[in-house]
Amino acid sequence: MDYWAGYGSIALFLLVALIFGLITIILPKVLKLLGLVVRKPNAVKYTTYECGMETIGPSWVQFNFRYYIFALLFLVFDVLVVFLYPWAVSLRGGGWAAFTAMAVFIAVLLTGFLYAWKKGALEWR
């Protein structure tokens, strides 16, 4: 199978999967027309569920700052991972020179990681 045919197959499969999911969601709506699915509207039923309490204030609020630090760390090391994949495939061609180059690159990034660790960025408090 050539290069584009593979991705074409996957793209078409994505379309089929989306249609499969869409049919699954639409199906009860069709059954409702046939009277198989009940619908008894009720003002309380359509409120936000909070274990019986009435909702106070909006839910769409600013989130905790701690998530931001982990997102930042993730960004740094996900870029590292992206660099590592082609390196891994071509390592046997590159030899020990490629090995050393990547070791230096990771050592630089690890310095930042150790700094974050010592600074307490990995603590959840």
Binding site for another protein (CB under 8 A): 1, 3, 5-10, 12-14, 16-18, 20-22, 24-25, 27-29, 31, 36-40, 45-51, 55, 58-60, 63-64, 66-67, 70-71, 73-74, 77-78, 81, 84-85, 88-89, 91-92, 95-96, 99, 102-103, 106, 110, 113, 117, 122-125
Burial 15-40 (b: 16+ CB within 10 A, else e): eeeeeeeeeeeeeeeeeeeeeeeeee
Gyration radius from the chain CA atoms: 26
- Phi/psi region, residue 120 (left: phi>0; alpha: psi -120 to 50; beta: rest), is left
Q: Which is nearer to another protein, 17 or 115 (CB)?
A: 17
| CB of residue 61 to another protein, shortest distance in Å | 8
The token pair at 74 is 């993730």
Evaluate the CA torsion angle 73, 78, 79, 81 in order and state its sign: positive
- Minimum CB distance to another protein, residue 10 (Å): 5
Closer to another protein at the Cβ: 33 or 58? 58
For the bound state, the minimum distance from the C-beta of residue 23 to another protein, rounded and expressed in Å, comes to 10
Shortest Å, Cβ 25 to another protein:
6
CA distance 92 to 86: 12
